[in-house]
Amino acid sequence: DTGVSQNPRHKITKRGQNVTFRCDPISEHNRLYWYRQTLGQGPEFLTYFQNEAQLEKSRLLSDRFSAERPKGSFSTLEIQRTEQGDSAMYLCATTKTGAASTNEKLFFGSGTQLSVL
Amino acid sequence: AQKITQTQPGMFVQEKEAVTLDCTYDTSDQSYGLFWYKQPSSGEMIFLIYQGSYDEQNATEGRYSLNFQKARKSANLVISASQLGDSAMYFCAMREARGYGGSQGNLIFGKGTKLSVKP
């Protein structure tokens, strides 16, 4: 069990550039979430996948954001035309869904810290 | 309205003493789950403890226990015998059975409490 892996750990970019983050889930975890965390706040839900299907997107996810999970394994989160307000920690979390839903704990990666200059 | 409220931005505790981190929540669901996560400076969120809304006994996991008061909608985390390695951000989170926007599985987090353990 290698845990949830996120790359890169840090990304510095200039405003207007595109960036892409990657998340590799724990093997056999079929549900994958993306969260965003700004300084002094708790993580905020962005979107999630059940296998390869993107089932829900938060209103926080503007048109400049797109996420994919081809083949239901790793996932990528792309931000186009980055803005300074996009600076945040982007966290990926995964879980293996079962019959009971409220007690499923999420396993988080260490996140990608994005700084937009 | 906030779903999860953590009113203590920062807390200090002496090493080896116990500390309580407060959490109140708001939901109209009968079925929900409450979680506590620890986030060290490295950034990774580490699961600590879970309490289901129908669980009659308070959850315990080693030095962590959850003081669940359903009528007050509070789910405070108690850390006994604090250690220097407990210094971190602590987040309370909730999952409702109906979930976010009708889906299941999404965790809603509070703003966190920064715990500092003094030697």
pLDDT score of B7 more than 60: yes
Per-residue pLDDT reduced to its tens digit, B17-52: 999 999 999 998 888 899 999 999 988 899 999 999
Instruction: Give A49→chain B minimum CA distance, Å.
Output: 11
pLDDT score of A59 more than 60: yes
Q: What one-character DSSP code corresponds to residue A62? A: -
pLDDT score of B101 more than 60: no
Residue in chain A closest to B112 (alpha carbons) equals A42
Instruction: Give A89→chain B minimum CA distance, Å.
Output: 9
Q: What's the whole-number mean pLDDT along residues A20-38? A: 94
Residue numbers in A near B95 (CB within 8 A):
101-102, 104
Q: Which of A41, A106, A109 sits opposite B111 (nearest CB)?
A: A41
Q: Which of A105, A108, A113 sits opposite B50 (nearest CB)?
A: A105
Residue in chain B closest to A89 (alpha carbons) equals B43
Closest to B52 measured CA to CA, from B28, B25, B31: B31
pLDDT score of A60 more than 60: yes
Residue holding tokens 């260490």? Answer: A110
CB contact under 8 A, A33 and B105: yes
Q: What's the whole-number mean pLDDT along residues A40-51? A: 91
Q: Are B58 and B65 in contact (CB under 8 A)?
A: yes
Average the pLDDT over each of A14-23, A79-88, A107-116, B96-105 and give the range with the smallest value: B96-105
Q: What is the pLDDT of residue B1?
A: 58
CB contact under 8 A, B47 and A107: yes
Per-residue pLDDT reduced to its tens digit, B55-92: 989 999 999 999 999 999 999 999 999 999 999 999 99
pLDDT score of A1 more than 60: no
Q: What one-character DSSP code corresponds to residue B84? A: G
Cβ-proximal residues to B59 (8 Å cutoff; 6+ apart), any chain = B49, B50, B51, B65, B66, B68
Residue in chain A closest to B45 (alpha carbons) equals A108
Burial class (CB in 10 A: 0-12, 13-18, 19+), A71: exposed
Residue in chain B closest to A39 (alpha carbons) equals B111
Burial class (CB in 10 A: 0-12, 13-18, 19+), A7: middle
